[in-house]
Amino acid sequence: MENTERTKRKKTGELYRNFIQLVLVGSITGIFAGAIVTLFTILAHEGEHISQNAYAYVRANPAFIPLLLVGLLGGAFLIGVAVNVSSVIRGCAIPQTEGATRGIVPLKWWRDLTLMFACSLLSIFMGLSIGSEGPSVLIGACTGDGVSSALRRNPMIRKYQITGGACVGLAVASNAPLTGMAFAFEEAYKRLTPEVFICSATSVITGMLTRSAIYYLRGAELATTFTSFLFYQLPIKAYGFAVGAGIACGLLGVAFYKLAFLMRKLFKKIQIKQDKRLSHGVRIAVAVVLGGIVSLIAAGVMGGGHSLIESIGTLGGTIEVNTKTAFGLSLVWTLLIISLLKMLITTVNIGSGIPCGIFIPIIAIGAALGGLLNTLWVELGMDKAYCDLMVMICMAAFFTTVVKAPITSIVMICEFTGSFAHLLPVIIAVFIGYLLGEMFRTEGIYEELLEEYEKEINIHEWVREVFTVTVARGALAEKRQVRDILWPVGARVQELERGEEKILPDGDTVLRCGDVLTIVCRTDNSENTREELEHILG
């Protein structure tokens, strides 16, 4: 009896120590990631204003167009050099970050952070259709990796800190802490465990507090995400418009997905004498010049899309959409042109491999489609008071179809609207968008891009190795189902010995103290993999 009580106290003490460790490392990660990402977002915001003014000046003075092209080519050269130094910053930042959280993609945090920070700012200064959210996720992840290196944490804790930093990056950049946390569960790991929740929640809380402290010290106020929107609860009789929005955005989301990977195929054909480095540079130059031309043609396409989304808000139908007209055309044609150009240039960025963020551009495309649909819905009898909510519904449906992250989409819209009262119509549209993606057999774009990145870079020399590990008393895995444990990448529990009994485990199998597990792993570092397994089971 006394031994049993002592064992229980020991087990409880070990759990407390583990959770306290996660809280501490998560807090430190949040402070550093929050500070760096806040600095990045402030500079990115200023960069968008500078580039908008510069392009407005060039439009008014066409004689400066050649100078603009020279500047774009110079920027493309610098970015081309950077992506050849660090392949991690190539293309969308979020797929590589997801790979890093799972232990698939190795980071050199100081190199990748610096280059992503610089290249993203340069792209924004050049007026390209690039958001700050995606780069912020990678910057936060690199910060988490750096903090983990400084604290000399084990590989498992390092992955938690990378995840926490990534969550901070998204939360700070989008001003949506719950969305940042949802990223960890739905995108990074595809599951929720206590350890992931504790580390990501702690990181996001301290990261957002750090951001608030920086703004306070600067004497600046934290602005609401979108100030031109006013939301009224959609009545049940108007739910048909939400269904229509889900169908339209779902179909266009599928088209966007297909176009993105078509662009990747087209850009891969740009080969310069089998020189990969030069080929990457030429692809980026093409994307930068095209982006500059599109931004010169239509100001609404510039930047990530915050300004575009803000311009579509109507304060609950009390004001008109204030999107700048393109070529002097009507609002409908302007929104149609902006939607198509934004889709085109965003897919060009994805295909070329230019360091870019597509998180907010995807949402902005959904918003533009919402503004376009509102003109039709109002003609069909929808009250103008619901136009702003319909824009948010379209953002969620389009994002879900492309990214396959319905929970993140729903949480994001709840944070943007500041209310859960609009949950049902949002869920309906998100469900339809997700269903259409499944019907057309599209994958989440970040997952697909991560798979392609692994194949292109060939960053690992994987070997198959078998480990035999015993579940210790008080281990993280004890009394948990197999599916609820965050295993090392490529790990599969093949067999379980419990006394004289041999069990073929499945996801529902609950692990007990003394169980001997035979685990087959696809690994490129046996020592690190064994250390991770011992952290989980020992």
- Opening angle at CA 323, ends 243 and 122, nearest 5: 105
Q: Are 378 and 371 in contact (CB under 8 A)?
A: no
- State the greatest distance between any 2 C-alpha atoms of the chain, in Å, as a whole number: 89
CA gap 406, 95 in Å, rounded: 17
Q: How far is CA 464 from the centre of its chain?
A: 31
Strands 501-503 and 516-523: unpaired
Find the helix or strand (DSSP H, E) in which 457 lies: helix 445-457
Question: How far apart, in Å, do the first and last CA atoms of the chain sit?
Answer: 24
User: Are 141 and 101 contacting, i.e. CB atoms less than 8 angstroms apart?
Assistant: yes
pLDDT band, very low/low/confident/very high, at 184 (cuts 50, 70, 90): confident
Q: Which of 337, 397, 346, 343 is nearest to 370 (CA)?
A: 397
Alpha carbons 422 and 412: distance in angstroms, whole number: 12
> Is 195:26 a contact under the CB 8 Å cutoff?
no
Residue 491's contacts (CB-CB under 8 Å, 6 or more residues apart) are: 519, 520, 521, 522, 529, 533
Nearest to 249 by CA among 339, 119, 341: 339
Cα distances (Å, whole numbers) of residue 58 to 66, 75, 294, 517: 10, 17, 13, 67
CB-based burial label for 286 (10 Å; 0-12, 13-18, 19+): middle
SS3 462: coil
- For position 244, what pLDDT does the model report? 96
CATH placement of domain 236-275+286-455: 1.10.3080.10
135 in Cβ contact with 117 (< 8 Å)? yes
Q: List the beta bridge partners of residue 463.
A: 523
Instruction: Answer whether 40's CB lies under 8 Å from 47's CB.
Output: no
Joined tokens for residue 197: 């929740």
CA distances from 305 to 72, 226, 311 (A): 20, 12, 10
How would residue 20 be classed by pLDDT, with cut points 50, 70 and 90? confident
As a whole number of angstroms, the distance between CA 485 and CA 472 comes to 15
What b/e string do you get for 402-436 counting C-beta neighbours within 10 Å, with b at 16 or more? bbbbbebbbbbbbbbbeeeebeebbbbbbbbbbeb
Q: What is the pLDDT of residues 408-428, one digit of tens each?
A: 999 999 898 887 888 999 999
Where in the chain do CATH 1.10.3080.10 domains reside? 2-218, 236-275+286-455
Q: How far apart are CA 425 and CA 522, in angstroms?
A: 43
Alpha-carbon separation of residue 117 from 75, 124, 306, 474, 495 (angstroms): 14, 11, 19, 42, 45
Would you say 104 and 489 are in contact if contact means Cβ atoms under 8 Å apart?
yes
Distance separating alpha carbons of residues 62 and 239, to the nearest angstrom: 48
pLDDT of 25 reads: 92
Three-class SS state of 480: coil
Percent share of the chain, pLDDT over 90: 53
How far apart CA 58 and CA 445 sit, in angstroms, is: 35
H and E: helices and strands count for the chain: 18, 4
Give the pLDDT band of residue 65 (cuts 50, 70, 90): very high
pLDDT higher for 511 or 438? Answer: 438
The SS3 of residue 411 is: helix
pLDDT above 80 (res 326):
no
Q: Assess whether pLDDT exceeds 90 at residue 518.
A: no
**What average pLDDT does this structure show over 515-531?**
80
Compute the C-alpha angle 427/420/400, nearest 5°.
30
| CA 528 to chain CA mean position, Å | 27
DSSP one-letter code for 236? G
3-state per-residue secondary structure call for 255-289: HHHHHHHHHHHHHHCCCCCCCHHHHHHHHHHHHHH
Q: Which CATH superfamily is domain 2-218 in?
A: Clc chloride channel (1.10.3080.10)
Half-sphere CA count of 118, side-chain side, radius 13 A: 15
> Residue 368: pLDDT band by 50, 70, 90 thresholds?
very high
pLDDT tens figures, 476-493 = 778 888 877 777 777 788
Confidence band (pLDDT; 50, 70, 90) for 454? confident
> Cβ distance 176 to 136 under 8 Å?
no
Q: Which two tokens stand for residue 64?
A: 């400066």
Nearest C-alpha neighbor of 355 from the set 69, 9, 90, 137:
90
pLDDT tens across 240-280, in order?
999 999 999 999 999 999 999 999 999 988 888 777 788 88
Tell me the C-alpha to C-alpha distance, in Å, between residue 199 and each of 25, 169, 281, 359, 507. Answer: 8, 14, 38, 23, 24
Lowest-pLDDT range of 24-33, 350-359, 462-471, 511-520: 462-471
For domain 461-537, the CATH class is alpha beta
User: Which residue type, as a one-letter code, is found at position 401?
Assistant: T
Are 123 and 40 in contact by the 8 Å Cβ rule? The answer is no
Report pTM.
0.88
Q: What angle do CA 524, 525, 529 make, to 5 degrees?
A: 115
**Nearest-angstrom CA–CA distance, 326 and 104:** 44
Q: What was the pLDDT predicted at 222?
A: 74
Cα 333 from Cα 68, distance rounded (Å): 28
CA distance linking residue 243 with residue 228, whole number of Å: 24
Residue 459 has pLDDT above 70, yes or no: no
